[in-house]
Amino acid sequence: MWQAIIGFFGGPVIKGLLDAYNAHLQATTSDKQIAADLAGKEIAAQTVEMQAQAQLRTAEIGHPWEPEKLAFYVCLIFFAKCVIWDKVLGLGTTDPLAGDVSTWAGMIMGFYFGKRTFENVARIIKR
């Protein structure tokens, strides 16, 4: 009964640990004991791997004040002003970017969107 309750509330990892422990208790030969020990170690390794993946996801989120994001915010504000204020609302005009500034703005926007696209595609291929 306790196994059913803990298995229901604990999810597949807890249920797997309980199954491995039960197999260990019921093992009568050394081969079965070794198999039960290996099953328990495998489940423990899977748990550690899931925790490491969660930590990696947390680390990949980053912070809003990273240099690449700060440069993107500047370009985003400019483009948002041009689109929303100038075109959508029709409340002004903004001189177009020229020279190196336009090149850098295009490179920053291309880098930001291209980088995220490349990361997502690489993550999909990795799976």
SS3 at position 85? helix
Based on the number of CB atoms within 10 Å of its own CB, is 112 exposed (0-12), middle (13-18) or buried (19 or more)?
A: middle
Domain ranges of the chain: 2-60, 63-126
CB-CB contact of 20 with 39 (8 Å): yes
Which residues, including other chains, have CB under 8 Å from residue 6's CB and lie 6 or more apart?
Answer: 14, 15, 18
pLDDT tens readout for residues 45-102: 888 888 888 887 777 677 777 777 787 888 888 888 888 888 888 888 888 778 888 8
Task: State the pLDDT at residue 28.
Answer: 61
Q: Give the separation between CA 33 and CA 25, rounded to whole angstroms.
A: 8
pLDDT tens readout for residues 100-114: 888 888 888 888 778
